[in-house]
Amino acid sequence: MPDQQSARYESLFESTTIGEVDLTNRIALAPMTRVSATAEGVPTDRIGAYYRVFADGGFGLLITEGLYIDDQTSQGYFFQPGITNPAQAAAWKRVVEGVHASGARFFAQLMHAGSQSQGNSYTTTTWGPSAVRPKGEQLSMYRGSGGFRIPEEMTTEQIGQVRAAFVNAARLARDAGFDGVEIHGANGYLLDEFLTDYMNTRTDAYGGSVTNRIRLATEVCADVVAAVGADMAVGIRISQGKVSDNHHRWAGGEEDAATIFTALADTGIDYIHTTEYRSLAPAFDNTARTLAELAKQYSGLSIIANGHLDDPRDAATIIDSGTADVVALAKPALANRDWPRRVLTGQPLSPDVPADVFGPVATVKDWEVAGVPNIARPETREYKTVDTP
């Protein structure tokens, strides 16, 4: 741990702007799965209290956990919050008001789980670009077990439905008072599945070349930008690794990165949020440049960087280099919910993430409503949050 008495990492505390949204500093709370909504996907008062702690702790920007966007196939796991209807949006409005009262900005992350869905209150069907099963196995912390289901290959009509769902969710987020929306295009969820070569075997305009495989992500970005207006920041989260395959890399290396980041910038979005296991590590074997650096070079947009920036020296380094404009913290934020204030005032940081029991008090009826099989229900009446993409 650095000598925090002798350094204040001034660059982390400079103001900045993403789109038309002003931030008081360059430290963001990364999106982290909470599995803490009601069975109907409505955020609770406890979720509101959770986010407000980070706003009170000095984070300039908070990004929600992934919010499912429709009542069909987008939900990724039981007790995930959604933003699909007025009831969910109204509940989020109260959460947003609490965050704003504490002086932070708040972005909603919009997510379609695709074939990595492990629990859906509406259907057992999953959608993907092709009928290809994701690698790896479902995660027990998501109440899943065994291999993922083979998804239904999406039709052109279903692709249009997903585009419309992202737009509807973005408008609901705007109505709820969020300052921005982040489209989840990372970690092996639907938009990333279209980009991933082995998951996408299509031969139409959405398959084949990298230009075609990034097409759905660019369409969604452009749709959302057009729908919400200039006052609301719009961005996308991008990664190479996935929940089910964290070693994946783009086969074309920097050439693929150039195509992907240029295409995304052309949609009119305001920022790109890169997430890698280590933000400061080279993106590919044959280059010293990081994914965030490549995103900055080929997009020219504001960049949020996420991935093992626990040490404020590393966080300040990536800002000072001009590679990123904002750092997003996950585990270090859970361990230090006032991380910005501690760094600013030279207080020590804890390296330990506490056992953060925060889930809803789930009754048998709750689990039945959510459609969770008996074998996947927890032994106790509360369960832990999880720190995952």
Which residue ranges form the domains of the chain, and what is each CATH number?
10-368 (3.20.20.70)
Residue range 124-135: mean pLDDT, rounded: 96
Element (H, E) at 225: helix 215-228
Q: Does residue 34 or residue 44 have the better pLDDT?
A: 44
Strands (E), 268-312: 271-275, 302-306
The dihedral built from the CA positions of residue 181, 183, 187 and 189, taken in this order, carries a sign that is positive
Cα angle, residue 385 at apex, residues 381 and 388 outer, rounded to 5°: 145
CB-count burial class (<10 Å; 0-12, 13-18, 19+) for 234: buried
pLDDT of 1 > 90? The answer is no
**Which tokens belong to 344?**
């600013």
pLDDT in tens, 293-308: 999 999 999 999 999 9
pLDDT of 267 > 80? The answer is yes
Place of tokens 């074309």: 252
Question: Mean pLDDT score of the chain, rounded to an integer?
Answer: 89
Predicted pLDDT at 35: 86
Q: Residue 59 — very low, low, confident or very high, per pLDDT cuts 50/70/90?
A: very high
Query: Which residues, 6 or more positions from 232, have their beta carbon under 8 angstroms from its beta carbon?
Result: 19, 20, 21, 170, 174, 178, 179, 180, 181
Q: Residue 290 — very low, low, confident or very high, per pLDDT cuts 50/70/90?
A: very high
pLDDT in tens, 82-125: 999 999 999 999 999 999 999 999 999 999 999 999 989 899 89
Could you give the residue numbers annotated as active site?
A: 189
pLDDT of 166 > 60? The answer is yes
Predicted pLDDT at 375: 35
Q: Residue 7 — very low, low, confident or very high, per pLDDT cuts 50/70/90?
A: low
Rounded CA gap, 172 and 92, in Å?
10
Q: Residue 385 — very low, low, confident or very high, per pLDDT cuts 50/70/90?
A: very low
CA 315 to chain CA centroid, nearest Å: 19
pLDDT in tens, 324-378: 999 999 999 999 999 999 999 999 998 877 654 344 434 434 434 444 443 333 3
Q: Coil, strand or helix: which one is 199?
A: coil
Q: Residue 382 — very low, low, confident or very high, per pLDDT cuts 50/70/90?
A: very low
Please compute Rg for the chain using Cα positions. Answer: 20
